[in-house]
Structure 1
Amino acid sequence: MGIKYWLGLCGLFVFTGCATRISQKGDFEQEKMSRIRLDFTKTKEQVTDYIRKYIPDVTKEQLLQWENEKSLECITIDGQKMYFYNAAPNLFRINKEAAEIKLAKDGVVLDGKDLVNLTHVPQVVNEVKSSQKNIVHPVRMRVKYTLTVKPGVVPEGEIIRCWLPFPRTDQSRQTDVKLLATSEKKYTIAPAKYKHSTLYMEKKQEKEKPTLFSAEYEYTSSAEWHPLKPEDILPYNKKTAIYREYTSERNSHILFTPRIKALAKQLVGDEQNPLLKVKRIYEWINQIPWASAREYSTLDNIPEYVLENKHGDCGQVSLLFITLARYCGIPARFQSGFMMHPGGKNMHDWAEVYFEGPGWVPVDQSFGIFPSNNDDEKYFFMSGIDSYRMIVNDEYSCDLFPKKRFPRSETVDFQRGEVEWRGGNLYFNKWNWNLEIEYLK
């Protein structure tokens, strides 16, 4: 295909376990190359033009230095160097000196979730302390989710199969899920035993028209916080199914590679208390800058990618956290869906860890250290989560219901949805998605 890998891990995928199986490596290679091309669309001139907004006298030598230190992500495609479509904005997140230049010009800009949590987190901490309950502050939301397949993508008369995200019904902090309407009369909601919560529909493609799938529903989301102390944590019973499953490796993104083992030993040292182990890992990962991510399906091993490239988005740092925690003997698992903050809605991933005694505890690794002098608030997201969430997934890379016939657009996570017809999978560039939220009293 004429692609020489410049940065990143771009190998082949062979999924095992509950992941979608691709029997032959070659089956996915051509598709993967196509996806990489869609992620790397910026030319050197386009990237340089963006950077000059903040660094007018940027030089070729600086660009090359940033590329070599992996602050500016690029690969060579058919002999031409191409940059990740968000490489230039990411530079001002990843590189410390560039970030300081942008901060000096733009000032501090808080997004919607940050603005909400400034008051919400202290409120949750106080509610937990006063009520002696770990789950508090319910928020009722009405959601309309729409997926629209572009005209001309599928031949007229063909059946399109669609999976939309749907809030899980088996979560203690997500309750009273109520389906209000669907675009199609016939639909199927995945049983709770499936790790990806989906609402499935089919529709016939009409001539020269977009094909729309939508669902409206309500649910209540609550915050959860555990004011844990090291002495609250009991020794693990290492014979339990939970301990065995969630301290194990899992292809292809929870693997105890030599780099993971060395880093875990460096971070944890001789510490034996599980809570203090988690704190050390959490604090270290908090130093990794957030950057928008290329598609997960193009990466062999996401934690290794984060360590190699020194940046990651929410799902990437969560998988790194989970892998380090498991290697250190702490059960940990993946959870994802959406953050639903007013003015800050977006796809989002986080983790949960299991402590003997308290049980499963949410950990939002990418939200990191909360800006407060109060330690309970400062480390809130190390053992808590806010009210503005929609939980869709309790694991990654598992089967959808009904089972998908072709490899997924998102082979790890499930948030935007999935679409296919008898001619194959419909990738993200073939359709659009939209999430509308109404906050109910």
Structure 2
Amino acid sequence: MPSDLEQVTAQVDDGQFGEAERQIALALGKPGLPVDKRRTLEFERERIRRIRLDFTLTQNDVLQRLREQIPDLKTEEFQAWDAQGLIERLQIDGEKRYFKRSVSNLFLLSPQAAARRAPPVRPFTTGPFEQLHPHHAEVLAAARAQEATSVAPRRLQVTQSLTVDADAVPVGETVRAWIPYPRAIPGQQEDVRFIASTPEQPKIAPESTLQRTVYLEKPAKAGQPTEFSITYELTVSGRHFDIDPSKVTRTEITPALAEYVAERPPHIVFTDALRKFSAEVVGQETNPYLIAQKLFAAVDRIPWAGAREYSTLSNISDYALHAGHADCGQQTLLLMALLRLNGIPARWQSGWTYSDETVGYDNMHDWGWLYLAPYGWVPMDVTTGQLKSEDPALQWFYLGGLDAYRIAFNDDYSRELVPAKQHFRSETVDSQRGEAEWSGGNLYFDQWDYKFEWTMLPSKSSNR
């Protein structure tokens, strides 16, 4: 029998908000309710509120938006796309509600829908390294020439800011903010130097913090936004591990590696559906690297689309398996779950990507690492995925390599911030935009904005 909490979670997932609210109210009214259970129930209530913010569109809203781009759209066409699950929706208490990004996502997921748009049509944009790029060859050539796994360094200065809306917090109340900040990772990002913050007197989390941030405080003023920012420098290197599949052996799972092959509810669970998918993809293969290749390719085939807020999803890897689309963090968690299920250690990494040649390009991004004996930990970026090249080393660049245009803020997901938040996080999994709160509660994403700005600097040469 599922527990009361499991029933509430399932009801929220299924859009049965009225019944879930009733169950939550009954449970919270019981005397002697443990603090952790009370907090979990209160978050399910908050999750309902956040899902409503994600699913703001009615069917008429979607039709109107589609007809702005497809003026002669037939109702039958819409119904066909809807029936195929290409227009993400949720039945909330019996009413169809559509995801706020469902229209733009449709054109990513359906070539037929994209072809129906009336000109002028804006082309879909991607990051510069999502296709074969000279930088990939630069990293490979340097790694081979220098017999190194860390090459082609880039040094940059970053200013990241978080601005809370005017009057989002009562006048005089202290606004607390956390802005992501990198830690030094040998061979990947080094020589991290903090320069300045607004306001001053920042509290920088210890370097051991897996979701590292800079903490700042500032009183709210009437009619004025509350602004926070940090500036720092660091050197980021490209990575390449020259993996010979014939040399890869089954990893001995030591105590240090045990957590990286384990389930970690709620987002990494070895469900029956995951086991079935894994068996179909892996088949009889036993070589860990070739298993990783098969799983990487299978997850890479899932189309990218704009994501729901992670905090609204009860099991992200399962969502990525069934939704028909996924973004970078969802694909990464699915691949991590599949690798772990097959006894291959896997862990998370995420941060921000950018480019010194594409004006105005930057983006939040998630990727990961897997452990292959005898090579140790090697990187993987399944969302950037395979590159179109006849050279296998370039084709599989992102299974054992990384470009030098990404900062890692997080070496794990869903870890405590330092200092800890008093209220629920806006992002319960990742940490890229930042967090904010005051004594009266969390400040959600609709109450503040963020910005990531960078400048490339002369590099300091360092290779490993």
TM-score by length of 1: 0.91
User: Does the C-alpha gap of structure 1 residues 429 and 107 become closer, same or farther in structure 2, counting only changes over 3 Å?
Assistant: closer
Aligned counterpart, 1:377 = 394
From 438, 441, 445, the equivalent of 1:421 is 438
What residue in structure 2 maps to residue 26 of structure 1?
Answer: 41
Counterpart position of 2:147 = 132
| 1:28 CA displacement | 1.2
Does the 8 A contact of 1:4 with 1:75 survive in 2? no
Pair 99,275 (structure 1): closer, same or farther in 2 beyond 3 Å: farther
Aligned to 1:36: 51
| 1:222 maps onto 2:237 in alignment | yes
Aligned partner of 2:368 in structure 1 is 351
Asked if 2 retains the 8 angstrom alpha-carbon contact of 1:6 and 1:76, the reply is no
Contact 2:260 2:347 in 1 (8 A): yes
Aligned equivalents of 1:99 and 1:377: distance in 2? 30
Q: Deviations over 1:399-439 (max 9, x none)?
A: 11011111100011111001111101000011010111111
Aligned residue number for residue 83 of structure 1? 98
Distance 1:44 1:5 in 2: 21
Secondary structure of 1:380's aligned partner = coil
Task: State whether structure 2 residue 334 is matched by structure 1 residue 323.
Answer: no
SS at match of 1:27: helix
Assess if the C-alpha contact under 8 Å between 2:131 and 2:387 holds in 1.
no
CA contact (8 A) 1:288 1:310 kept: yes
Q: Which sits farther off after the overlay, 59-68 or 208-217? A: 59-68
Is 1:187 the counterpart of 2:202 in the alignment?
A: yes
What amino acid maps onto 2:224 in structure 1?
A: K
Q: Distance in 1 between matches of 2:145 and 2:377?
A: 22
Partners of 1:9 and 1:299 lie apart in 2 by: 15
Q: Do structure 1's residue 70 and structure 2's residue 85 form an aligned pair?
A: yes
Query: Which protein is bigger by CA-based radius of gyration?
Result: 2
For 1:411, the equivalent position in structure 2 comes to: 428
- Counterpart CA distance in 2 for 1:376 and 1:104 is 39
CA distance in 2, matches of 1:194, 1:115: 30
CA distance in 1 between partners of 2:16 and 2:399 (Å): 29
1:360-383 residue CA offsets vs partner (Å, 9 max, x unmatched):
111001001112222111110111
Matched residues in 1 for 2:424 and 2:15: separation? 22
What amino acid does structure 2 have at the position aligned with 1:386?
A: D
2:58 and 2:444 map into 1 onto residues whose CA distance is 23
Secondary structure of 2:257's partner?
helix
Distance in 1, matches of 2:315 and 2:110, equals 23
Alignment match, 2:4: none
User: Could you tell me how far 1:116 is from its partner in structure 2?
Assistant: 8.3
Contiguous gaps of at least 5 residues in structure 1: 13-19
Q: Match for 2:308 among 287, 294, 299?
A: 294
Question: Once the two structures are superposed, what CA deviation does each residue of 1:77-122 show, in whole Å capped at 9, x if it has no partner?
Answer: 4664332111011011122433455699859655342488622112
Q: Is the CA contact (8 Å cut-off) linking 2:12 and 2:44 kept in structure 1?
A: no
**Does structure 2 conserve the Cα–Cα contact (< 8 Å) formed by 1:182 and 1:216?**
yes
AA aligned opposite 1:345: D
Secondary structure (helix, strand or coil) at the match of 1:47 reads helix
Judging changes above 3 Å, is the alpha-carbon distance between structure 1 residues 103 and 246 closer, same or farther for their aligned structure 2 residues? farther
| Cα contact 1:5–1:76 (8 A) shared by 2 | no
> CA 1:63–1:81 in 2, change beyond 3 Å: closer, same or farther?
same
Stretches of structure 2 lacking an aligned partner (at least 5 in a row)? 1-7, 22-34, 459-464
Deviations 1:1-23 (A, max 9, x none): 9x9979799999xxxxxxx9664
Q: Given that residues 167 and 221 in structure 2 are in contact (C-alpha distance below 8 angstroms), is that contact kept between their aligned partners in structure 1?
A: no
Flag the 1:158–1:185 CA change in 2: closer, same or farther, 3 A: same
Report the Cα offset of residue 51 of structure 1.
2.6
Equivalent in the alignment of 1:366 = 383
Rounded to whole Å, the distance in 2 between the matches of 1:164 and 1:259 is 37
Note if 1:391 corresponds to 2:405.
no
Counterpart in the other structure of 1:400:
417
Structure 2 distance, partners of 1:284, 1:104, is: 34
The equivalent residue for 1:15 is none
Q: 2:451 aligns with which of 431, 434, 439?
A: 434
> What is the DSSP-based 3-state SS (H/G/I as helix, E as strand, rest coil) of the residue aligned with 2:161?
strand
Q: What code does the residue aligned with 1:208 have?
A: G
Mapped pair 1:210 → 2:225: yes
Partner of 2:5: none
Q: Secondary structure at the match of 2:386?
A: coil
Equivalent in the alignment of 1:143: 158
Counting only pairs closer than 5 Å after superposition, residues 206-355 of structure 1 correspond to structure 2 as 206-238=221-253, 240-342=254-356, 343=358, 344-355=361-372
> In 2, Cα distance between the equivalents of 1:263 and 1:365?
17
Residues 195 and 47 of structure 1, relative CA distance in 2, 3 Å threshold: same
Task: Give the Cα separation in 2 of the matches to 1:39 and 1:59.
Answer: 26
Question: Which sits farther off after the overlay, 112-121 or 258-267?
Answer: 112-121
In 1: Cα distance, 2:262 partner to 2:219 partner: 43
User: For residues 423 and 139 of structure 1, do their structure 2 counterparts lie closer, same or farther at Cα, with a shift above 3 Å needed?
Assistant: same
RMSD: 2.6
1:216 is aligned with what amino acid?
T
CA change 1:107–1:432 in 2 (3 A) is: closer
Letter in 2 for 1:322: M
Q: 1:204 deviation in Å?
A: 1.1
What SS does the corresponding residue of 1:140 show, helix, strand or coil?
strand
Question: In the alignment, is the contact (CA less than 8 A) between 2:205 and 2:418 conserved in 1?
Answer: yes
